């Protein structure tokens, strides 16, 4: 039993010693500082270029239009995917977060930030120049910035940027619609909602009165 204890104790000391030695060797192993000179390579550069054709994870942008909004060097005027109600709702949510503080929720450039003394007012999306701008132009501006507007590529994924583009076009249509652009039976501009009681305060939400059905018996009478 005594021999076994001595043998076990010696084994533990040997293992600890080996581990300590390994740790020291790894701790002080040779290394090269970034961009330092290296005699190991013929070009004497320690930083090695990536292998030709290497693509970083998440950067395989096979659909160039989806990631740039351009066809060759010109902005395109088409959405890279169908526009649905879900796309517009997502675009509205992202627009209200990232764009509305400057451009306002209706896109006229009278956002909260310009109202607090920002030196340059953002352009209105409803001016003729931007009404005629292709969809890819808005995507490119969001991706790369324009003038004093920074780029939002690191904050808004490409899909969300396209959703915002679709919503901007919807805003433009909403502010310049005519009776011919809406289904029959609807008015432009639409009638203001009627409220039950007070229209609400800052601490309470308004209650909209239900619309009367014109086909009901009471309306017929």
pTM over 0.75: no
Q: Specify the pLDDT at position 177.
A: 76
Distance CA 10, CA 14 (A): 6
pLDDT digits (tens, 9 = 90+) for 152-164: 999 999 999 999 9
Q: What burial class does residue 2 get, using C-beta atoms within 10 Å of its C-beta: 0-12 exposed, 13-18 middle, 19+ buried?
A: exposed
pLDDT digits (tens, 9 = 90+) for 149-194: 999 999 999 999 999 999 999 999 988 877 777 778 777 667 777 7
pLDDT digits (tens, 9 = 90+) for 50-65: 888 888 887 888 899 9
Residues contacting residue 69 through CB under 8 Å, at least 6 positions apart:
75, 76, 135, 136, 137, 138, 139, 140, 143
Q: Which residues pair with 74 in a beta bridge?
A: 71
| Range with lowest mean pLDDT among 64-68, 113-117, 151-155, 214-218 | 214-218
């Amino acid at each position: 039993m005594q021999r076994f204890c001595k043998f076990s104790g010696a084994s533990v000391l040997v293992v600890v010693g080996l581990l300590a030695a390994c740790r020291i060797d790894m701790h002080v192993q040779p290394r090269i500082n970034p961009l330092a000179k290296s005699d190991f390579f013929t070009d004497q550069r320690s930083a090695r270029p990536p292998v030709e054709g290497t693509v970083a994870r998440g950067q395989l942008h096979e659909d160039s239009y989806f990631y740039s909004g351009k066809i060759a060097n010109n902005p395109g005027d088409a959405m890279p995917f169908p526009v649905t109600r879900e796309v517009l709702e997502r675009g509205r949510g992202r627009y209200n977060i990232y764009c509305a503080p400057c451009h306002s929720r209706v896109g006229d450039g009278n956002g909260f930030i310009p109202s607090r003394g920002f030196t340059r007012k953002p352009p209105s999306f409803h001016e003729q120049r931007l009404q005629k701008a292709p969809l890819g132009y808005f995507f490119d501006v969001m991706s790369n910035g324009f003038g004093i507007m920074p780029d939002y590529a690191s904050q808004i994924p490409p899909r969300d940027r396209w959703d915002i583009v679709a919503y901007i076009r919807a805003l433009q249509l909403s502010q310049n619609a005519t009776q011919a652009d809406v289904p029959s039976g609807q008015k432009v501009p639409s009638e203001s909602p009627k409220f039950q009681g007070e229209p609400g305060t800052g601490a309470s939400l308004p209650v909209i009165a239900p619309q009367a059905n014109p086909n009901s018996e009471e309306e017929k009478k």
